[in-house]
Structure formats: structure tokens, C-alpha cells
Amino acid sequence: MSTSWLKDAVFYEIYPQSYYDTNCDGIGDFNGIIEKLDYIKSLGCNALWINPCFDSPFKDAGYDVRDYKKVAPRYGTNNDLYRLFGEAHRRGIRVLLDLVPGHTSEEHEWFRMSQKAERNEYSDRFIWTDFCFAGAKGLGFIGGESERNGTYILNFFKCQPALNYGFLHPTEPWQLGTDHPAAIATREAMKDVMRFWMDHGCDGFRVDMAASLVKFDDEKKSGTSAIWRNIREMMDAEYPSAALVAEWSDPPLALRAGYHMDFYLNHPGGGYASLMRDYVKPDNSEGKDNSYFLKDSDHDMSRFLEEYLRWYEDTKDIGYISMLTCNHDTVRPRFNMTPEELKICYAFLFTMPGVPFLYYGDEIGMRYLDLPTKEGGYYRTGSRTPMQWDHTRNLGFSGGCPDALYLPVDPAEDAPTVEAQESDPDSLLNFVRSVLALRHAEEDLQADAPFEVISAEKGKPFVYRRGALVLSVNPSGTGAEVAVPEGKECVKFLHGSGEVRNGKLCIGPQSFVVLG
């Protein structure tokens, strides 16, 4: 057994409260995911990432865990999740859960115990200063809410006290080193959580804020990386087929820290952002949208390639870079892109090296909705709306009352749905299926096949090689000619128009071509 299954893996990310509601309470559930597994498999997805589903007060949509070994009742029971693992495996689908190792909810029993004035086994499970008015430079902290004399350090929101994995370079008496027994106990407690779910059928974890464990770390995150390498050793020995994907977006660090995959995330101004979301600038302001995959863009691939190629060449032999259509933290790509633009973009994402992730609803071009914040979502809330299955009540998401839904569905008359796109051969949904089928059929398009840039000139189609295949994407509204390697004349896949003449590919506007 090994993680060789990642070579041909395509993940589908599910925000469980928004996928499919089977008990009409307005919130998606595990039984809803089970009912839709055949649909997920029909897409060409053979792995799932399920966003946080553990017991939580939901001040941050489940990323504030109250009990790591109990599922949130709104989704069902532990047995329902165990059944989901089994039903997915029966269909050849692996399942990753979302692990939150850097913090818990302030309602977690570990934290409740650590707040007590009397010393106990959890007193150092979290990071506490030694004086009621003392904080920590560069770290958020809270005081005035606990029996003990001290303030506690935050990992993100106020509701998320930081678990104590130690400080790489302690400078205060209350800062424990990474080799302190209490810091080691925290690491072992997280291993215990991971073992619990893998023993029940979980195939691994997506790890939230993976770089956030050790505080005051050096720039190479050596303290945090050492913890993950220790955890990876446990997994390799006890669960060799289980996989880890990091929310780190620094593959040279994350993959050397023991992760199998690292996400390429949407940091404003970054290479991935330049492809689809170039309307957000590094200072988080909005300006002219010059995303590469827009039909009328004058942008080229240079910013993406400058970052991606450096990472790819450094890590291609040790793990995978995972590109995604979107996730629960990112504005949906339909916000600024048409379905035709999305087709070309997805063709590129799904034929690049690494392990790709498809966010639920992106396969039908679900829109981003302008909504008030829900459960700490803020601007992200508009990307977390219910899946749109058909044009029945609540777009098929739930039979409950519309005002009881977790979030409202798209109110537009032309809201995209699975049912409408199933019967349209030119739909985005069916295009996604065709591209993923191509990826599964061609070993040269899978995770570890070689990658080489052939042509990336400004104003020209992007041409790249995967193994023995040559691929070209032309997102622009005008056709173009581009030279291709000798002997590459057979068109193996075509969207739009394209043919080879005299050693040149004549590719039409908004087209994608694979040559064999």
C-alpha cells in the first residue's frame, strides 16, 4: 500500500453544510453527500476533500473545533461519516477530512481545562503568558476571561486559541521550547486525533494553516517542518496509503516538511491569482482585471510561470503542487469569467502536473453572491452558497423552507443547475467531464508526467508539453498560429478549433488543443 493513487487523483471539495440536505433542516449533511457520490464519480473525481465537519460552535464555519473525535450533529453522527467512508471506497473514491492542528475552539475541553488556575495536564496545551496584562509581540492575545493569571495567544480569530507546539527560539520564561514535554504532548495528541479517523476509514487530511504550529520560527519554518516530518513518519509506518495536503502555498517548504501535496493558493499579486483573479492587487484593493484567461486580456503567462516553474523544478521529484478551480476562501471564478472562459481555464488546470482540486459547483459555473457574513465567512460567504441541482424548490438543495437555508440560493432565473447542464452537450459540466476523462485516459496528463514550456510569448497561445503530448490553450478572442514540435500533427482532443499545417498549429479563438 502507498500513496501511488495520487498519480491519477482528481479531488472534489465539498463544503458540507451547502452540498445536499436530506432532512429538510436547511443544512447539508453526510447522507446528502452519500446520495451524490455517483454524481461525483461521473465528473471524473475519485477523491473528496470535506471541509471541517467536527463538533463546533461554528464561529468560523467549523474551523473552531470543539471536539476532534465527534462530528457536528448538524451533519449527522460519527456512524454516518463512517458509512460515507465505506460508500465512497466502494466507488473507488478516497476521502480526506479537514484537520485544524494550530488551534481549537475556545469551547474545547482542552482549553476549558487550561483556563483553570490549578495546574493540570492541559495547562500548557495552549500558549499562555505569565501575567494578566502581558501579551506577545506580533501575536494576538486575549486576557480577562480566565481564572489563571495570564493571557492566551490566538492563532487566528478571537475564538481560536493557539495550541502549544513550542517556540523555536524562546525569549520569555513562559515560552516553551519545541522539545518541551508539553509541546511534544500537543503533537502526540494531534497524532491521536489523526489515528482515530484513519482507523475509521479516512484516507488522510487537508491541513488548515499548516505553517502555523511553532511560534517565532525562522524564515524556513524549521520548527514546524520538524513536527510534520515526525507526523509523516507515523503515517508512513502505520497508514502508508494515507495522504496529506497542506494549506501552505510554499511547496519547497511544505513538501520537504513531509506533505504529499501543497496547494497553490490565490495570494493577490501571485502567479495563480494572475490566471483568474487579477482584479485583486497585492494591497487587497481592486483595479483593472487583467486575468490571463479573460477573452479580452492582454496579460501573458509570465507572472504565473516565473513563480510556478521555480517551485515545479525544485519539487517535481518530492511531491505535488495542487492547483484548484476555487475553494471556500476564494471568490468563485464565475465572478469575472464567462462559461467559455472557464472552459479554457479548467482545461489548463486539469492538464497541468500535480493533483487538481475542483470546488463544488464550479463544474456548473455557480456564481459568487454578494451576501452578509455567515459563521466568520465575511467576503468568502458568497462562495459557500448551496449547490444548485435543479430548478425545483431551493434549486434542489433542500426541501426545507427557504428562510431556513444555511445560505440563500442564487435567485437569478438563469441560475446554473446540474439538471439543465446534463442535457446540454456544450455545457460547462459536460466539458469538465470530457477533460477529466482525458486526464484519466492519458497517463501523460497525470500528476507526475514531465512538463515543459514550449511557447509562452505575449499575445500568443500558451503551448506546453506533458510527456509525449503537446497542448495549447488560446484564451483570447482571436485565432493565432504557433509553431509546434515536428511530428505533432494528430489532434487527440479539441475544444473550439485547431489544426496543424506545415508545422504550425492554427488555433481558433477560445480554443484548447491536445496533439499526439
- Pair 491, 443 in one domain: no
End position of a domain, from candidates 397, 429, 448: 448
Residues 35 and 140 in one domain: no
- Both 469 and 410 in a single domain? no
Contact 61, 108 (CB under 8 A): no
Q: Residue 156 belongs to what domain range? A: 104-164
pLDDT single digits (tens) 415-443 = 999 999 999 999 999 999 999 999 999 99
Q: What percent of the chain has pLDDT over 70?
A: 100
DSSP 389-422: --SSGGGGS-SS-GGGSSSPPP-STT---HHHHH
Rounded mean pLDDT, 378-389: 98
CATH number, domain of 389, equals 3.20.20.80
Of residues 280 and 73, more confidently modeled: 73
Residue 364: pLDDT band (50, 70, 90) is very high
Q: What does the block give as the cell for 29? A: 449533511
- Does residue 459 share a domain with residue 345? no
Strand stretches in 85-162, DSSP E: 94-99, 141-142, 152-153
- CB 346 within 8 Å of CB 299: no
Do the Cβ atoms of 327 and 313 come closer than 8 Å? no
* Lowest mean pLDDT segment, chosen from 81-95, 133-147, 178-192: 133-147
Strands laid side by side in the 243-246 sheet = 320-322, 261-263, 243-246, 204-207, 94-99, 47-50, 11-14, 357-359
Tell me the CATH number at 455.
2.60.40.1180
94-99 and 204-207 beta bridge pairing: parallel
Q: Which of 11, 99, 8 is nearest to 323 (CA)?
A: 11
411 and 491 together in one domain: no
**Domain identity same for 441 and 502:** no
List, for residues 97-156, the tens digit of each pLDDT value: 999 999 999 999 999 999 999 999 999 999 999 998 888 888 899 999 999 999 999 999
Q: Which of 65, 72, 73 is nearest to 102 (CA)?
A: 65
Same domain, 365 and 413: yes
Residue 30: pLDDT band (50, 70, 90) is very high
Residue 285 lies in a domain: no
Q: Is 48 part of a structural domain of the chain? A: yes
> How many H helices and E strands in the chain?
12, 20
Q: What torsion, rounded to 10 degrees, do the Cα atoms 488, 494, 496, 502 define?
A: 20
- Which residue among 164, 183, 212 closes a domain? 164
Q: What is the pLDDT of residue 510?
A: 96
Same domain, 398 and 437: yes
- The three grid cell numbers given for residue 355, joined into one nine-digit string: 493533483
Q: Is the pLDDT confidence value at 505 over 80? A: yes
Give the total number of structural domains in the chain: 3
Q: What is the pLDDT of residue 1?
A: 65
Residues 17, 131 within the same domain:
no
Average pLDDT over residues 14-38: 98
Task: Look at residue 443 and tell me if it is in a domain.
Answer: yes
CA dist 351 and 13 (Å) reads: 18
154 occurs within a structural domain: yes
Same domain, 333 and 441: yes
Does 71 share its domain with 133?
Answer: no
Instruction: Scan for cell 433542516, then name that residue.
Output: 25
> Does the pTM exceed 0.95?
yes
Q: Is 110 inside a domain boundary?
A: yes
Residue 168 contacts residue 214 (beta carbons within 8 Å): yes
**pLDDT, mean of residues 258-271:** 96
Q: Is residue 310 part of a domain?
A: no
Select from 406, 433, 448 the last residue of a domain. 448
| Residue 200 in grid coordinates | 475509521
Task: With cut-offs at 50, 70 and 90, classify the pLDDT of residue 491.
Answer: very high
pLDDT digits (tens, 9 = 90+) for 161-171: 999 999 999 99
